Amino acid sequence: MLVGSQVRRVAVIGGSRIPFARSHGAYARVGNQEMLTAALKAVVDRHGLKGQRLGEVIAGAVIKHSSQWNLVRECVLGCGLAPETPSFDLQRACGTSLEAAILIANKIALGQIDCGIAGGVDTVSDAPIVYSRDYQQLLLASFRGRALGEKIRPWLGLRPRHFKPVLPGVIEPRTGLSMGQSCEAMARNWSIAREEQDALAFESHRRAAAAYAEGFYSDLVIPYQGLETDNNVRPDTSLQKLARLKPSFAADGTLTAGNSTPMTDGASAALLASEEWARARGLPVQAYLSFGKAAAVDFVGAEGLLMAPAYAVPWMLADAGITLANFDFYEIHEAFAAQVLCTLKAWESPQFCRDRLGLPGPLGSIDRGKLNVKGGSVAMGHPFAATGTRIVATLAKLLAERGSGRGLISVCTAGGMGVTAILER
């Protein structure tokens, strides 16, 4: 419900994150709570919020233990904010923290709150290890027993197979395919060559390395667990090195470890507020979050798993009344280099735009020089729920340094969904 007489502009004040790390490495002995608390604390410290009560903190994780049912609340209690700051967990796969930022923005715009923090975290290094449903049912049957015999009888069915753990995987329950296998099919469908994917991956690493060298990330990334930079960035990679890598998801495929995001641990957060709240505290506004949109596709029978942003972006552009060319920066999440290229090719296709989007012609092309200018997920890694606010903070700083402009954010997610947003200054 609207609180007040008008919808308010939503300012992005800034963001912070810990370095993103390849899984089972630097962060092998820490979990979601420790990492997200560190990212939230960095935002609190950077903006002088210690002891203050904010309107809301919304964040989440894709992979978490059942004991982390109130993860974000626990992180808020440990990050330095007033304990009276409300919070809750949100989950929309890889779009989690961008969706959290949009939800915070909606609450600010409607006057329900004046400020809030959005964020996300994920770790594959501390993934929950569970056992088969048969074993679960055996344990529950024993628990339900009233007499001693009823408690013991289920154990007579115990077999060695029950002790084989069921490890989490990035598998779609509806298709049984991994995200990489699904994207491999997309690359075939859209005729995306291996060379194109390697070229985009090379640019991702080159630009990320250059951004670190010039100090762009010095106030966005805080040292954590001995790391000061994302440890997947390869300043010394080359097209020749990338070309030597073998396919990862099909013997005759084009997706490799070099042009796909690695399994990654990390956390990020971003502070959003009304202009009045920021002004009262002397906090400069970096950018404004002005539009957001989500979409989903029928990936089981009609569309590629990661193609939802190809729909969400044009719908959002229609809301904003602008074209694809009206941007100074394009931040498209590189789940796989092929996914980015499939999306760009769809927007350039007269047939796709006519038949799927109902447009009279192609949505258009983008200037590749404006795409992921400080590196993308292929280089920096992708802790599923943390990528959205990593991008929000990066884009807000880019716009603040430029002094004006507009940036597009596009994030594909598991489950055939996509989350998109526009930042302006």
> CB under 8 Å, gap of 24 or more: what pairs does 160-168 form?
161/132, 161/134, 162/131, 162/132, 162/134, 162/135, 162/138, 163/131, 163/135, 164/131, 164/132, 165/129, 165/130, 165/131, 166/129, 166/130, 166/131, 166/132, 167/127, 167/129, 168/63, 168/124, 168/127, 168/128
pLDDT digits (tens, 9 = 90+) for 381-398: 999 999 999 999 999 999
User: 163 falls in which pLDDT band (50, 70, 90)?
Assistant: very high
Please report where in the chains the tokens 């990338």 appear, as a residue.
242
- Say which of 79, 94, 342, 353 is annotated catalytic: 94
Best CA proximity match to 12, nearest among 269, 393, 349: 393
pLDDT digits (tens, 9 = 90+) for 319-371: 999 999 999 999 999 999 999 999 999 999 999 999 999 999 999 999 999 99
User: 295 falls in which pLDDT band (50, 70, 90)?
Assistant: very high
Place domain 179-215+290-424 in its CATH homologous superfamily: Thiolase/Chalcone synthase (3.40.47.10)
pTM here?
0.96
Task: Give φ, ψ of 206 to 5 degrees.
Answer: -60, -45
Residue 232 to residue 262: CA distance in whole angstroms: 8
* Mean pLDDT score of the chain: 97
User: Do residues 108 and 78 touch, judged by C-beta distance below 8 A?
Assistant: no
- Say which of 47, 205, 333, 382 is annotated catalytic: 382
What is residue 215's predicted lDDT score, i.e. its pLDDT? 98
Task: Give φ, ψ of 164 to 5 degrees.
Answer: -80, 120
Whether the predicted pLDDT of 26 surpasses 80:
yes
What is residue 136's predicted lDDT score, i.e. its pLDDT? 95
Tokens encoding 54 = 């904010």
User: 5 falls in which pLDDT band (50, 70, 90)?
Assistant: confident
DSSP string, 276-312: HHHHHTTPPP-EEEEEEEEEE--TTTTS-TT-THHHH
What is residue 352's predicted lDDT score, i.e. its pLDDT? 98
What is residue 1's predicted lDDT score, i.e. its pLDDT? 74
Torsion 392-395-401-405 (CA) sign: negative
Whether the predicted pLDDT of 57 surpasses 80:
yes
Please indicate whether residue 24 is annotated as part of the active site: no
pLDDT digits (tens, 9 = 90+) for 177-223: 999 999 999 999 999 999 999 999 999 999 999 999 999 999 999 99
What is residue 168's predicted lDDT score, i.e. its pLDDT? 74
Please work out, in degrees rounded to the nearest 5, the angle formed at the alpha carbon of residue 333 by the alpha carbons of 121 and 119.
Answer: 25
Whether the predicted pLDDT of 119 surpasses 80:
yes
- Say which of 75, 115, 183, 412 is annotated catalytic: 412
User: 99 falls in which pLDDT band (50, 70, 90)?
Assistant: very high
Tokens encoding 345 = 């090719």
Best CA proximity match to 407, nearest among 380, 358, 363, 373: 373
What is residue 2's predicted lDDT score, i.e. its pLDDT? 82
Report the DSSP beta bridge partners of residue 421: 292, 409
User: 170 falls in which pLDDT band (50, 70, 90)?
Assistant: confident
Please indicate whether residue 79 is annotated as part of the active site: no
Hey, is 137 helix, strand or coil? helix
